[in-house]
Amino acid sequence: MSTPPALHRAIVCVDIERFTDSRIADWQRADMRKGLYRSLERAFVNSRIPWDECYSEDRGDGAFFLVHPDVPTARLVQRLPFELAAELGRHNRAVADGEVRIRLRVVVNAGEVRVEENGVVGTPLNLAFRLLDAAELKAALRQADGDVVFIASDWFHQEVIRHLRAVDPAAYRPARVKVKEDTVDAWICASDVQLRAGRAYGERLPAIETTLESIAATLDEARRHRAVIVRKIASPVPEVPALDTRPRERLTALNALRDTGRWAELGTELTELERTVETSLEQARAVHRYIVEPLERRDELRGRLGAYQAMAGEHGHAEDPELDELYRRAYDLLWTAPCDLLEAEAATMRYVRASQRS
């Protein structure tokens, strides 16, 4: 049987931190694996690395991927770290009680490999797995603020990373890594601005989207209440303002910052957008409170009128003609639609004062 030809492929290997920890139950490990593959697929797709065209093998606590040769290797550096940090941030923010956060070591390398009937063989793949298990990389993840660290082989750094205009050379620090009986050069990225921006994006974007939905829902509810109130209250009821589309537009504009690798600007815009949508939500809630206030005031007056009528009865004044006339006047105003709120309030207070004098 002939040996298949070697192909030059970019390699991505991932490994979950503490996956074999005895304190983690099997059902938790199963959830971690589901979260891992969901995060990886989204990160690959968002990085424009076709998920279905990658060769992959599962490794229990991780996996490895051979990227399709048509995919520019630059995407493994310019987009994948951000997108994977974002997806892990999103996943870990949403973990429920009892679930375990996913923290990930990632290796990128490239070289000649052979895809055979029973798997893949090649020195670049061997090196990738050894880098993945390196003590230096494990220590980097333990010390990292985020959920993911990247390590690149020296070849990948020299041939790909250092030639990319959009990548800050300072983001990767050199490391002498002991692998088996050898010591090799590698480059570790644990907390550069891209990873921090990705984590912030993944963790905070869902809250921004939820707030935007709450703004729209609050204004819709205010419009529904206004439609009811204008039939029940004669006093002028203000219009509900249209939904401000600018926060949504700014949210869409974040994609442009992602596409161009402007990570620091993206982080700043994310913070400003959070403040903007929170302010907009408070304004929408204030509009809603202002809209429903007349109806709540009418209902409050109805309650007060009933309470004072009951009190008058307890004191033997229920048959007082003057009180009865004042009560009827207030009652008619409060139970007539549309209700003249100013007249109804004045009539109710006349009844209350007369009840107190009796």
Fold type of domain 7-191: Alpha-Beta Plaits (3.30.70)
Residue of 68, 85, 65 lying closest to 189 (CA atoms): 85
Give residue 188's pLDDT. Answer: 95
- Can you read off the two tokens belonging to residue 303? 């309650």
DSSP of 297-319: HHHHHHHHHHHHHHHHHHTT-TT
Question: How far, in Å, CA of 304 to CA of 325, rounded?
Answer: 17
| Residue 140 neighbours by CB under 8 Å, 6+ apart | 149, 151, 188, 190
Query: Which tokens belong to 244?
Result: 């401000």
Spatial CA neighbour of 113 closest among 104, 132, 126 = 126
Q: Cβ(294)–Cβ(235) under 8 Å? A: yes
Q: 148: which strand partners?
A: 104
pLDDT tens-place values along the chain, 358 residues long: 556 788 899 999 999 999 988 898 999 999 999 999 999 999 999 999 999 999 999 988 899 999 999 999 999 999 999 999 999 999 999 887 767 899 999 999 999 999 888 889 999 999 999 999 999 999 999 999 899 999 999 999 999 999 988 788 788 999 998 877 788 999 999 878 899 999 999 999 999 999 999 999 999 999 999 999 988 998 778 889 898 999 999 988 888 888 888 888 999 999 999 999 999 999 999 999 999 999 999 999 999 999 998 888 888 876 788 888 999 999 999 999 899 999 999 999 999 998 888 6
DSSP 3-state of 238: coil
Closest CA relative to residue 82, chosen from 123, 122, 52, 47: 47
**Domain limits, CATH 3.30.70.1230, in the chain:** 7-191
Helices 246-259 and 193-232, packing angle to 10 deg: 170
Contact 171, 193 (CB under 8 A): yes
pTM (global) more than 0.85: no
Cα–Cα distance for residue pair 270/345, rounded to 1 Å? 48
Q: Which two tokens stand for residue 172?
A: 């990767």
C-alpha radius of gyration, the chain, whole number: 33
Beta strand 104-116 with 148-153 is parallel
CB 192 within 8 A of CB 181: no
Angle at 112 between CA 58 and CA 178, to 5 degrees: 70
User: pLDDT value at position 108?
Assistant: 97
Taking residue 37's Cβ as centre, other Cβ atoms within 10 Å add up to: 14
How confident is the model at residue 1, as a pLDDT?
52
Angle at 218 between CA 217 and CA 219, to 5 degrees: 95
Q: How many CB atoms neighbour CB 322 within 10 A?
A: 11
